[in-house]
Every structure is written in C-alpha cells, then in structure tokens.
A and B are shown apart, each in its own frame.
Chain A
C-alpha cells in the first residue's frame, strides 16, 4: 500500500462549489504539505502543517483552507471553486526527526473547475 494517499484522484466540479481534497499518510510523519502544480510553473506551496496544532500559509493560500484532523490526515478545501483553481494538487509529508527536508509525495489529485 502507498505511504501517502490522496482522494479523489480526479474530480470535475463547477464554479462556486465547495470541494475537499483528502490526504492520508502511514509514514508517521509530523509534517504535511499541500502543493498545486500548473504547467510551466512547477509546484507552489499552498499550506503546510508541522503538527496537528501548527498550520501555516504557503505562497498561494488565498481561496483555500486546510484542516489537520490527525497526524495522519490533512485536508484541503476550496470553499467556492473557480476555474483558475484547475490544477494538479499534491500532498506531501516529511519527518523532522531526519531533518525534515526530504518530502514524500502522494500520487496527486487532478481537479477541473468548469
């Protein structure tokens, strides 16, 4: 089984809808991250969490919110989706006990907002 899983893998929705993307991990890592990937722009950090009570905004947090329900779960929400949020979304984890720098990525969620 994969260490970092994301659900759903693909989602098509309409403008204005609320969407939640979920991430679960079995690696036991404290740190979790959400990124979006757009063609030609690399990965941009949306939010990150160093533990259940520590959540931080990344470079592009506007229009997004997150919830860290447990060490193993980190959800990303789009309260009112808009077309320019169409992208590939990745969750990642890292372990501060080994320096926290190496990140482990999930397979991604492809979101299309019509």
Chain B
C-alpha cells in the first residue's frame, strides 16, 4: 500500500512569509496526489491535487508539483496569511483499494 511522510509541525510563520511543507510518498504505480486542509473545528477539505507527473496543482495561492523522480509533492505559498492557520495533510490516492492514505498532518500557525 501507499505511505506518506510529512514534515512535523507546528510550523510557525509571520504573516507574508514563504511557506514550504514537505511531503514524500511511496506508492505502487503513479497515484494521484492531494493536499487537504483542516481549519480549526472543521472537517478536511480539498486544497489542491495533481494527477500525473509534472502536474502542478494550485488553489488559494498554494501550489504543489508532482515530482515522480523524487516521489514528492511539497506544498508552497509565497505569502501566508493568518487565515491560512490550519492543519495540512498530504495524501496519495490509489495503490489498490482506491483509497486515500493520509500523512500525519502538519500544523501551520501564522502570526501577525
């Protein structure tokens, strides 16, 4: 099955700082790759996805590029806001059973 390694949090940044959250995965074949975000007190919601090598997913200023050669899908944002404070989950999909495999999540705290 698939597995995911995410950088540990919490990550604390000042507003307008650059964000990178690392994610690497192991999988059979070429899975679709997802980032989900969980705001305080809420369920997870899709942030972005990429379905094949070199694809770039983007949404709300966040980006991640599907890197097959390094099996990575790092999340980036050029200028974070306080409202981006949340927990971010990397998740490949597939690898038998058509399921998502979630990483442990990385908490982001953005301060003024």
Contacts and interface: CB of A to CB of B under 8 A. Distances in A.
A binds B: yes
Interface string B18-50: 000000000000001010100001111110010
B107 to A, nearest CB: 10
A43 B89 contact: yes
B49 A42 contact: no
Contacts of A106: 43
Interface of A: 4, 35, 40-45, 48, 56, 58, 90, 92, 99-108
B49 A105 contact: no
Contacts of A101: 32, 34, 49, 93-94, 98, 100
Contact of A108 (B32, B43, B94, B102): B43
A105 B99 contact: no
Instruction: Pick the most buried of A40, A41, A100, A101: most chain B CB atoms within 10 A of its CB.
Output: A101
B72 to A, nearest CB: 18
Nearest to B90: A42
> Which 8 A/B pairs are nearest by Cβ-Cβ distance?
A105-B43, A42-B102, A43-B102, A101-B93, A42-B104, A105-B44, A107-B43, A101-B32
Contact of B99 (A41, A58, A108): A58
A108 B97 CA distance: 23
B17 to A, nearest CB: 25
A91 B103 CA distance: 17
